[in-house]
Amino acid sequence: MLWCGEVLPTPTLIYWMQRVPHASFTNLYGPTEATIASSYYTVPACPASEDASIPIGQACGGEELLVLDDQLRPVPAGEMGDLYIRGAGLSPGYWRDPEKTRAAFVPNPGSATPGDRLYRTGDRASVGADGLVRFLGRADAQIKTRGYRVELGEIETALHALGTLRECAVVGVPSQDFDGVAIGCAYAPLAGGAVTPAALREALAHALPAYMLPSRWLACDALPKTSNGKIDRRRLCWRRAASTRWPSSSCWSSSRNASGSAWSWTTWTWTSSARSRPSPPSSPNAAAPPARSRRPGALVS
């Protein structure tokens, strides 16, 4: 069994490894800019703990993963850095978007070969003493709140380890309070489960320090997705920016009707048919997030 694209929660991995013991389970990692899969890690045995971290492993043949600092120098083993990819799988760049290409594909400072490039993934990672690379979250998923720097991916990992959620996303949301940026959690419970923000916060308090506990909660039947099927975190942030406050209880629900599903967020309403994903409403008070560019800006293969 192979998985790629989103982090598979360890409780889910344990569930399937226990039920399909004869199968092998391999974690693949890689963005579209590097032809999807750039590294792999075959899990040797069922994890003993639900909060165990599964490495993204080692580079595929012809590629290389590098964990570098701000000066593009390798970081020591165990320390966090920015993840770059080098090798045959890199795309030439983004179609008719040289500025975006220059920002993402940078010359390799450790090579004298012309055209040797690195792709800046925007992910944070570390290399263990075992030589395996571990994904630690997005670089843009680090926020500063109440004077602390917080990796939002760590909070999501702790939430998944609780075993009560089908999916969740933790985002930084603007706040009018002294913290400036609040930690917001949108979540969808397992089918038939009854989960409250109070219960989640209490459970998280056993695993995380107080400054990392979310203060804004959003209960959902399903989280919004991008056209690629990934959780649309930008849309979650936009929803929060279009409202004065995140409520502390469930206010975003999904219900079925003849035309598909309808998602409502306080005074905002989205609708979607079975064949299209929801789009934000037009409003004189709030602008929709910019559309994802296809061309120019699409990858060149």
Please give the average pLDDT of every successive group of 10 residues along the chain, which has 301 residues.
88 94 97 92 95 94 96 94 96 95 95 94 93 88 82 91 93 72 90 88 94 90 86 74 39 32 28 32 40 49 47
Domain 2-136, CATH among 3.40.190.10, 2.30.38.10, 3.40.50.12160, 3.50.50.60: 2.30.38.10
Residue written as token pair 């035309």: 259
Write down the pLDDT at residue 174: 73
In the block, tokens 């706040």 appear at 175
Domain ranges of the chain: 2-136, 146-272
Token pair 């089918």 in the structure block, residue: 191
Q: What is the pLDDT of residue 300?
A: 57
pLDDT at 252: 37
Return the pLDDT at 180.
Answer: 67
Q: Confirm or reject CATH 3.30.300.30 for domain 146-272, answering yes or no.
A: yes
Report the alpha-carbon distance of residue 270 to residue 238 in Å, rounded: 13
Q: What is the pLDDT of residue 93?
A: 95
CB 271 within 8 A of CB 72: no
Q: Read off the tokens for 61.
A: 């043949």
In whole angstroms, give the CA distance from residue 247 to residue 219: 10
* Terminal-to-terminal C-alpha distance of the chain: 27
pLDDT score recorded for residue 18: 97
Distance CA 203, CA 159 (A): 9
